[in-house]
Amino acid sequence: MIYLDHAATAMKRPDQVAEAVAAAMCSTGNSARGAHKASLDASRLIFDTRKKLCQFFHGENPSQIVFTMNATESLNIAIKGVLNPGDHVITTVLEHNSVLRPLYEMERRGVELTILSCDEKGRVDVRDFAGSIRRNTRAIFCTHASNLTGNIIDIQAVGEIAKAYGILFGVDASQTAGVIPIDVKAYGIDILCFTGHKSLLGPQGTGGMYVREGEKVRPLKSGGSGILTYQKEHPAQMPERLEAGTLNGHGIAGLNVALAYLQETGIETIRTFELKLMRQFYEGVRQIKGVTLYGDFETSLRCPIVALNLGDCDSSKVSDELYLEYEIAVRSGGHCAPLMHRALGTEKQGAVRFSFSHYNTAEEVERAIQAVRELASGL
The beta-strand segments (E) located in the chain are 2-3, 65-68, 88-92, 112-116, 137-143, 168-172, 191-195, 207-211, 291-294, 305-310, 328-329, 352-355
Model pLDDT, residue 33: 85
Model pLDDT, residue 235: 80
**Distance between CA atoms of 235 and 97, rounded to whole angstroms?**
30
Residue pLDDT tens, the chain, 379 long? 999 999 999 999 999 999 999 999 999 888 878 789 888 888 899 999 999 999 999 999 999 999 999 999 999 999 999 999 999 999 999 999 999 999 999 999 999 999 999 999 999 999 999 999 999 999 999 999 999 999 999 999 999 999 999 999 999 999 999 999 999 999 999 999 999 999 999 999 999 999 999 999 999 988 887 777 788 888 888 899 999 888 999 999 999 999 999 999 999 999 999 999 999 999 999 999 999 999 999 999 999 999 999 999 999 999 999 999 999 999 999 999 999 999 999 999 999 999 999 999 999 999 999 999 999 998 7
Model pLDDT, residue 29: 82
Model pLDDT, residue 170: 98
**Distance between CA atoms of 313 and 336, rounded to whole angstroms?**
20
Side chain identity at residue 252, one-letter code:
I
The answer to whether 180 and 144 are in contact (CB under 8 A) is: yes
Model pLDDT, residue 164: 97
Model pLDDT, residue 369: 98
The answer to whether 85 and 159 are in contact (CB under 8 A) is: no
DSSP state at residue 235: P
The answer to whether 174 and 143 are in contact (CB under 8 A) is: yes
**By three-state DSSP, how is residue 62 classified?**
helix
**Distance between CA atoms of 14 and 250, rounded to whole angstroms?**
16
DSSP characters over 304-317:
SEEEEEETT--HHH
Choose among 132, 172, 130: nearest CA to 153. 172
User: What pTM does this model have?
Assistant: 0.96
**Distance between CA atoms of 289 and 376, rounded to whole angstroms?**
7
**By three-state DSSP, how is residue 86 classified?**
coil
Q: Exposed (0-12), middle (13-18) or buried (19+): which is 361, by Cβ within 10 Å?
A: exposed
Choose among 75, 92, 91, 97: nearest CA to 211. 75
The answer to whether 332 and 90 are in contact (CB under 8 A) is: no
